[in-house]
Amino acid sequence: MAVIAVGVCLGPVLEGTAQAGDTPLRPFAQHQVYAPDALFPSRWTPEERDEDVLAFYRQWKVDYLRKVDVASDVDDDAVQYRITFGHNQPERTVSEGQGYGMMISALMAGADPDAQTIFDGLWRFARAWPSDRDPRLMGWQIPPAGDSNDSAFDGDADIAFALLLAADQWGDAGYLDAARSIISAIGERTIGPDSLLPMLGDWVDIDGEQYNQWGTRPSDFMPEHFVAFGRATNDPIWMKARDRVLDVAADLQRDVSPRTGLLPDFAVVEPDGTVHAAPPNYLEGYYDTAFYFNAARVPWRIASHALLSDDKKARDIARMMAGWMRSRVAGNAVAIQSGYMLSGLPLPYETENSTLFVAPIAVASMLLPEGQDWLNDLYDNIRDRHMDYYEDSVTLLCLLVLSGNFRSPTGH
C-alpha cells in the first residue's frame, strides 16, 4: 500500500495547469434527453444553467479538492487527489467523497482541461486505501479511526459508476475493467443474497444479530447505478437489485410514510416483506428513524433513475416526496428545513434551510406535473449557494441533473 501523508495537502487545485490526457469523447456540456415529462428550470437558458454548473464546480474544486503529499517510498510519482471532508475536518476523507469527486470530474471533462488528471488522482487515492475486508473496495474513512477500515456501500457504488463514466469519456478499457472488478465485489460482499438489498458495508454479517442483510440505508437505493452495473457485467443480480430497491421504497411509502412519502435514514425489511423505519440510534444517531442527513439524498437518487430510464415506479416514488414537500412549505423553497419525521413534522432544532435538502427535492420536482414555478424557485435557492463538503458535493451533482448534464454510462 502506498504511504500517504493525509494531513499534508499541497493547497487547492486550481484550473489552468497542463495536462496531456485523452480527448474527452463526451465533453461538458452534454445535454441529455430525459423522460418525456421532465421539466427544467425555465427562468434560465440551457447555456445559463451550464454556466451555473461551471461556476459552482470551480468553487467546489477550490474548497474541497486537494493534492496529496505522497511519501518518497512510493515507486512512482503519480499524482493523487482526495476530497476533503470539509471546512471543519480538512484532514479527513471518506469513500463517499471520492465517489462524488470521481463522478463530477468525469462529467466535467472538456470544460476542465485537468479533469482526467484529477479523476485518475482520485482513483489512485481510493486504491491506496482499500478495505481491510475486501481490497477491491475502498476503506470508508481516511485516516482510519482504528486498527481496521472497512467499506461503505455508497462510496464504492459511486466509484464504480464513475469508472464507467470514465470509460465512456476517455475510451480507455482500463477504467471499464476496474469498474467491473468493483461491481463484482459490491455484488458479492454488500448485496444481501436473500434480501437483494444494499447492506451497509462489507463489515456486515448477512445473518448478524444487530446488523445483517435485512437492514439497509435507503440513500443507497441507486437504481440507475444498478442498471449501469448490469449493462457492464451482464450479471442478472443488478436488475433484481434495481427492482428490489424500488419495491421496498414504494412499500415504505405505503406502509410507513403514507402521508409524506419520505424515506428514513435507515430501514429494516423483514424476510416476510414487512418494512419498518429503523429505530433511533440504529447506527448513527437519534434521527436514524427520520428523513435526515442520509435520506435527504433519496429524492435525487430515485428521480435520476426516472429521468434517465423513464421508469414509472421511480417517477411515482419521487413525485410523492416532491409533491408533499411543495405542499408542506406552501411552495416556498426557503422554508424547507433540515429534516422531518416520516409523519411530516419538522425535526426539533433543525430549522436551517440546507441545500442538502433542497437540491435533491429540486431533482425530484423535475417530474412534478405543473410544478414549473416551484422548480424554478428551488433551483434559484441552490444555484450559487455554498455550504460545506457534503452539501456542496450533492448540490453540484444535482445541478448536473438539473442542467441536463448528468448521464448514465453505457457500460461497454
Contact 321, 303 (CB under 8 A): no
Residue 110 CA to residue 102 CA, distance in Å, equals: 15
339 exposure class (CB count in 10 Å sphere: 0-12, 13-18, 19+): buried
* Active-site pick, 50, 63, 96, 150: 96
Beta strand 141-142 with 93-94: parallel, antiparallel or unpaired? antiparallel
Residue 30 CA to residue 353 CA, distance in Å, equals: 30
User: CB-based contacts of 226: which residues, under 8 Å, 6+ apart?
Assistant: 238, 239, 241, 242, 245
Residue 239 CA to residue 222 CA, distance in Å, equals: 11
Is 96 a residue of the active site?
yes
User: CB-based contacts of 257: which residues, under 8 Å, 6+ apart?
Assistant: 263, 342, 343
386 exposure class (CB count in 10 Å sphere: 0-12, 13-18, 19+): middle
In 3D space, the residue among 202, 364, 387 whose CA is nearest the CA of residue 379 turns out to be 364
At 131, list the grid cell. Answer: 478495505
* Active-site pick, 52, 154, 168, 265: 154
CA 158 from centre of chain = 6
Is 154 a residue of the active site?
yes
Q: How far is CA 243 from CA 227, 229, 248, in A?
A: 10, 14, 9
In 3D space, the residue among 365, 369, 394, 391 whose CA is nearest the CA of residue 379 turns out to be 365
Side chain identity, residue 59: Q
Residues annotated as part of the active site: 96, 154
